[in-house]
Amino acid sequence: MRIIRVRHKEQAFYAAIVSPESVRPLNREDGQPEEIPLAELELLPLVRPSKIVCVGLNYLDHAHELGLAVPEEPILFLKPPSSVIGAGDTIVLPASCEQVDYEAELALVMGRTARFVAEENAAQHIFGYTCANDVTARDLQRKDGQWTRAKGFDTFCPVGPWIETDPGDLHDLALRTTVGGQVRQEGNTGSMIFPPHLLVSYISNIMTLLPGDVILTGTPAGIGPLKPGDEVSVEIDRVGFLLNPVIGQALDEPTAMQ
């Protein structure tokens, strides 16, 4: 099942895609039609998480391309909820950054509160899966030594276009990134060092995961820069296709340094 978040007559809700032209509200309220034409809906950003938990260096080839040791435990960091945008929304390259990279990732969306969850029970707490782009200011990441600023700018977490509740085998999903229609990054979730269900268990033993929270599971080798005018896509087999245009920050907009 594919789930999107929409607004209809001032009401925001999740709905299942039942055809190319219509959706069915998941929790239908009184007076709400059973099916609603897509043409009558406003598409909203897919998630409103309390937090976005990200995993660094979770693919062997990515660790190797950066010349870093393979981690013995998951490396975690957070992106702020304000970084989330949806499919078709614009990635803005900050004027204070010299190099901003794409990073294709499989994202998990939590459906139930998770605390001290065993790996074998993790699937019960996951609502579904979607595409994400962990946009990163690489120059600031190198400069700062920790990743909050480099990963946390507004628009630096595109997620979408929908939540896929059953993509099949999580250990065999092909990922690819295109920029301007050219393939720049390819990988497969089978190369993850720490698989999705282990990550849910590991993270839930550190912090409580709430419904709507998002876990970004890491990126394969092939990361690279974006520039104004690009269109960047993240495609994951059996999950979805996420496309976002890229622009530079207008000179009269405030920057993080002002």
Cβ atoms of residues 38 and 21 within 8 Å: yes
Percent of the chain at pLDDT exceeding 70: 96
Q: What is the pLDDT of residue 250?
A: 82
Q: How far is residue 126's CA from residue 111's CA, in Å, rounded to a whole number?
A: 5
Overall CATH class of domain 52-248 = alpha beta
Contacts of 51 (CB under 8 A, 6+ apart): 78, 81, 207, 210, 213, 214
Confidence check: pLDDT of 69 > 90: no
Confidence check: pLDDT of 258 > 50: no
Q: What is the pLDDT of residue 238?
A: 98
Confidence check: pLDDT of 79 > 70: yes
Q: Residue written as tokens 């990200």?
A: 54
Confidence check: pLDDT of 81 > 80: yes
CA dist 61 → 158, 176, 185, 186, 220 (Å): 23, 14, 11, 11, 6
Q: What is the pLDDT of residue 62?
A: 87
Confidence check: pLDDT of 256 > 80: no
**pLDDT tens profile 119-130:** 999 999 999 999
Residue 255's pLDDT band, with cuts at 50, 70 and 90, is low
Confidence check: pLDDT of 28 > 90: no
Average pLDDT of span 52-70: 90
Looking at every residue in the chain, the average pLDDT score rounds to 94
Average pLDDT of span 194-200: 98
Q: What is the pLDDT of residue 30?
A: 64
User: What are the structural domain ranges in the chain?
Assistant: 2-43, 52-248
Cβ atoms of residues 125 and 226 within 8 Å: no
**pLDDT tens profile 32-47:** 778 999 999 998 889 9
Q: What is the pLDDT of residue 43?
A: 87
62 versus 229: the higher-pLDDT residue is: 229
